[in-house]
Amino acid sequence: MKTLYSTTDIEKRVLELADTITSDYRGKKPVFIGVLKGSFILLADLLRAVYTKGLTEVAVDFLTVSSYGLGTESNRKPTVTHDVTTDIAGKDLLIVEDIVDTGYTLQFVQQLLKERGPHSLKTLAFLDKIERREIEVPVEYIGFRLVGTPWVEGYGLDGGAFGRGRPEIVAKTP
């Protein structure tokens, strides 16, 4: 097992992203939409970071989407198991994802939310497995680009149900 990003790396990157997002959303009241389950730790850190930097009027909602189950291969057919409860028409939405891999999950989520008429829609993916992308999806904010295609665990990402609480991000063999 190899540490890819330490807690210090993660903290620093979240603060950098928070700086950009705070400036981009100045004067707006965005809704951060966390894609569960993987995004809950990132969303909590990001929310507090932007608040500290002055973006205090942020609403939060969650959407649960799954396409991996306990396995390591996407079935490319994401399904919603829990929908947002916010009326998002006319709102400035920021999708918060832990990782983008094939792109199927984000494409599905972006399409679903777009159909509801938001004022704007942007996406943050903390990890980007760019080499594995099968469909193009717009991602405005990226934490780290993964080189090679290791299976990763920690900071919200699971390795077969467990390991989401690992504070750093590690590479694992499936």
Q: Which positions are annotated as active-site residues?
A: 101
Query: Is residue 67 involved in binding ligand PRP (CB under 6 A)?
Result: yes
3-state secondary structure of 32: strand
Helix, strand, coil share of the chain (percent; to 5) = 25, 30, 40
- In angstroms, rounded to a whole number, what is the distance separating the alpha carbons of residues 170 and 147? 13
Q: Of 8 and 162, which has the nearer Cβ to ligand PRP?
A: 162
Query: Is residue 102 involved in binding ligand PRP (CB under 6 A)?
Result: yes
Q: In this chain, which of 45, 92, 98, 153 binds ligand PRP, going by CB under 6 A?
A: 98
Q: How many residues bind ligand PRP (CB under 6 A)?
A: 19
Query: Is residue 35 involved in binding ligand PRP (CB under 6 A)?
Result: yes
Q: The tokens of 128 are what?
A: 């980007």
Q: The tokens of 113 are what?
A: 């939310």
CB distance 134 to 100 below 8 Å: no
Closest approach, Cβ 55 to ligand PRP, in A, equals 24
- Site residues for ligand PRP per CB under 6 A: 35, 37-38, 65-68, 74, 97-106, 158
